[in-house]
Amino acid sequence: MKQNILRSLADLRFAIFILLIIALSSIIGTVIEQDQSIEIYKLNYPLTNKVFGFLSWDIIFKFGFDHVYKTWWFLLFLLIFGISLLTCTFLQQFPSLKIARRCQFFRTSKQFCRLKIYTKLQSFPFTKLVFNIKKNKYSIFQQKNIIYCYKGLIGRIAPIVVHFSMILVLLGAILGALSGFKAQELIPKTETFHIQNILSNGQLTLIPKVATRVNDFWITYTKQSTINQFYSDISILNTDGNEITHKTVFVNSPIRYDGINYYQTDWNLVALRLKKADTPVFEYPLTSILNDRNKVWLTWVPNNENLVQGFTILIDNLQGYCSLYNEMGEFLGNLELHEKSLGKDSLTLIDIISSTGLQIKTDPGIPIIYTGFAFLMLSTLISYITYSQIWIVQEQSKLFVGGNTTRATFDFELEFLKLIKK
């Protein structure tokens, strides 16, 4: 029974069936947004108007379609597929390689009829034929009047390397799903934070207790005043608050520490520091609104105690200025950093307080996955090495010569013709 189970696991049709299920699950994970809040799923997949006539948010949460790649059933299919590959490697690929290494002599001339390429030579020098084969870098084995030759045995290792690489990729995916996490933090500059806002994590995830300080955040702009790049100056701190490492990160250039990656993903404006004529510096919080798909922040600066009269300030960039309006909505002009506004109720813009959006991720399976892909590329190169065999049987003055190859049949036929050419 054990042998039957192992043979079933090693069967190519079973492996393809499991692979199709994994592919279908991956399609579901691609079509349905992953790791979003329940409000987003209720909005996009309502109960009253189901997508495709059956898909609603309760179905998504019931079967775990909101986090497909971390569900127990998806990981189970990955594990079964890995076991299938491993079983096939030991039951089929290793024995096939072992057979390929053996000396497979032909004893009679009748055996050549099974080959696609064979011929019979009359009065051809036996030693010359062997010498020609040797020049083509074949390994030669002889028993009296019969010879067996092969080359490119390393090409037979390619399927084993392919299976090994795929197993590594599967192990990396399972490890990442079980112990990886993703977090999103929006931190004002000069502030220190710990990882708290976890978006997704695995069953075995341990959130590291590491402190991070955002030293500064700024944006560079093009000549057309469009955003060119975001920059965050970040320091990783130890338990005593001392800096361990430091880097200025920007989009697609994260800082890495102890397997944790900090990516620049978002930004926000938090507050304006303003100073009235003879009053201390006050901090006014900003509220964001959407204006033609662009973010605009505004705040209200009152002039009296009843909060009726004052200024509305609008800002949509980090170029060092904001727009000033009175309580009637009339535009009064732009106010730049450390510049005073005109009029009796003068304002001075002291600072624009911004915050940076950081996506924090760790995936311990990534190095294993990359190693698997490296072996997969190596196996592709190895597979181009042709495994070729040649048999020779001498009967009196006749030579029976035949050959076989795993690929590049036309090239092998040309090589075979050169070997037997007088």
Is the pLDDT confidence value at 192 over 60? yes
Same domain flag for 201 and 60: no
Same domain flag for 213 and 342: yes
What pLDDT is stored for residue 344 in this prediction? 60
- Count of beta carbons in the 10 Å neighbourhood of residue 379: 19
Partners of 249 in the β-ladder: 232
What pLDDT is stored for residue 108 in this prediction? 84
The answer to whether the beta carbons of residues 338 and 322 sit under 8 Å apart is no
Same domain flag for 186 and 308: yes
What pLDDT is stored for residue 205 in this prediction? 87
User: Using DSSP, how many helices (H) and how many strands (E) does the chain show?
Assistant: 10, 20
Judged by DSSP in three states, 193 sits in strand
Same domain flag for 327 and 393: no
Cα separation, 123 vs 406, whole angstroms: 30
Orientation of helix 158-179 relative to helix 366-383, angle to 10°: 170
- Let me know if residue 231 belongs to a domain: yes
Mean pLDDT of the chain, nearest integer: 87
What pLDDT digit, counting tens, does each position of 1-33 carry?
Answer: 677 788 888 888 898 999 999 999 999 989 898
Question: DSSP letter string over 345-369?
Answer: S-EEEEEEEEEEEEEEEE-TTHHHH
Segment 288-303 mean pLDDT: 80
- Let me know if residue 323 belongs to a domain: yes
**Total of domains in the chain:** 3
Which tokens sit at 300? 């209200």
Residue 222 pLDDT level (bands cut at 50, 70, 90): confident
Is the pLDDT confidence value at 187 over 60? yes
- Let me know if residue 371 belongs to a domain: no
Same domain flag for 122 and 264: no
Cα separation, 259 vs 364, whole angstroms: 7
Residue 91 pLDDT level (bands cut at 50, 70, 90): confident
Question: DSSP letter string over 50-78?
Answer: -BTTTB-HHHHHHHTGGGGGGSHHHHHHH
Same domain flag for 204 and 299: yes
- Count the alpha carbons within 13 Å of 230 in the hemisphere toward its beta carbon: 18
Is the pLDDT confidence value at 422 over 70? no
Same domain flag for 193 and 268: yes
What pLDDT is stored for residue 293 in this prediction? 65
The closest alpha carbon to 299, from 308, 290, 311, 316, belongs to 311
Same domain flag for 236 and 336: yes
Which tokens sit at 160? 């084993």
What pLDDT digit, counting tens, does each position of 250-280 carry?
Answer: 988 999 998 899 999 889 999 999 888 777 8
- Let me know if residue 171 belongs to a domain: no
The answer to whether the beta carbons of residues 106 and 393 sit under 8 Å apart is yes
What pLDDT is stored for residue 78 in this prediction? 92
- Let me know if residue 114 belongs to a domain: yes
Which tokens sit at 141? 């084995």
Question: 393: buried, middle or exposed (CB in 10 Å: 19+, 13-18, 0-12)?
Answer: buried
- Angular region, 257: left φ>0, alpha ψ -120 to 50, beta rest: beta
Segment 324-350 mean pLDDT: 82
Share of the chain above pLDDT 90, in %: 30
Share of the chain above pLDDT 70, in %: 97
Parent domain of 300: 181-362
The closest alpha carbon to 295, from 325, 316, 267, belongs to 316
